Amino acid sequence: MTSEAITAAAAGTWKLGDLTVNRIGFGAMRLTQNGGAFGDGTPSDRGRAIAVLRRAVELGVNHIDTAAFYFSPLRSANELINRALAPYPDDLVIVTKVWPGRDPSGKWWWATPEQLRGQVEENLRQLGRDHLDVVNLRIPPSRAAGSIAEHFGALAGLREAGLVRHLGLSNATPAHLVEARSIAPVVCVQNPYGIGLRPDGLVRPRTCAEQGIAFVPFFAIAGIGQEAGTSGADSEEVVAVARTHRATAAQVRLAWTLQQGPNMLAIPGTGNPGHLADNVAAGALRLSPQELARLESAHRSGA
């Protein structure tokens, strides 16, 4: 399929609380380095990263996912977003996440409930904003079976104080979602999900759809490659559907994601202008019921 003249509007819209976004967005994690993640690749070209962000907005992207811990030794995703897009378009929604942190050496740490305000203020400072549109509480693996009430309650307090507009969850189980919603509204759940990727025990898209909550899958393109990026190997089903549409496997994966429900939001990330245009164009790709069934088979088989 051709990517020319296709904008993010082709994917349709959804609301994060009172904020309307196009369902194809942009993930900033890969802006700071080439290959790998979180500082283990080579530094990205700053000018090119800024150009990709500006082009994304030109193509109608108005939902950007980021975090203060998205940085490499030479680049910060938040700083790049600020430099590229401030003063921000009125309709641009920037979503960030807290609880994990990284010190300057790259070592990970996890915030206490009392430290979440500092993480929120760090994002505000880096992005040059007086409030954050959406903040996701990124739940650590160690809390998979535990309570998140203290941390989510701290974020709810920051929402009441006006520092945060809306709240979401990341890496959340159904129990986490129930607990969080008893404290404050949840507008989105950001969990790993894609063709062949269905993590056990985490919230699935259908649960969110039933409650009118956006589901924002990460690794929708990378699948089992996860932070390392795509492996270059795609299932026979994905390749066959891509060939039919003269599309890439990544476009098919994104189109499949969006067709899992109207509440699905995609946030593919890239530092490549060509890949950006292809990702946005995937929002216009419509798969037939037969193609969806074929891809569902690949999904269930872990392809």
Enzyme catalytic residues = 70
- Name the nearest CA neighbour of 268 among 19, 15, 26, 14: 26
Q: Is 128 left (phi over 0), alpha (psi -120 to 50) or beta?
A: left
Count of C-beta atoms within a 10 Å radius of residue 105: 7
Q: How far apart are CA 93 and CA 134, in angstroms?
A: 8
- Retrieve residue 268's tokens: 């593919």
**Pick from 55, 62, 64: which is nearest to 11 by CA?**
62
Q: Which of 277, 219, 231 is nearest to 30 (CA)?
A: 219
Compute the distance between CA of residue 115 and CA of residue 247 in angstroms, rounded to an integer: 45
Structure tokens at 243: 């060939």
Query: Cα–chain-centroid distance for residue 106?
Result: 21
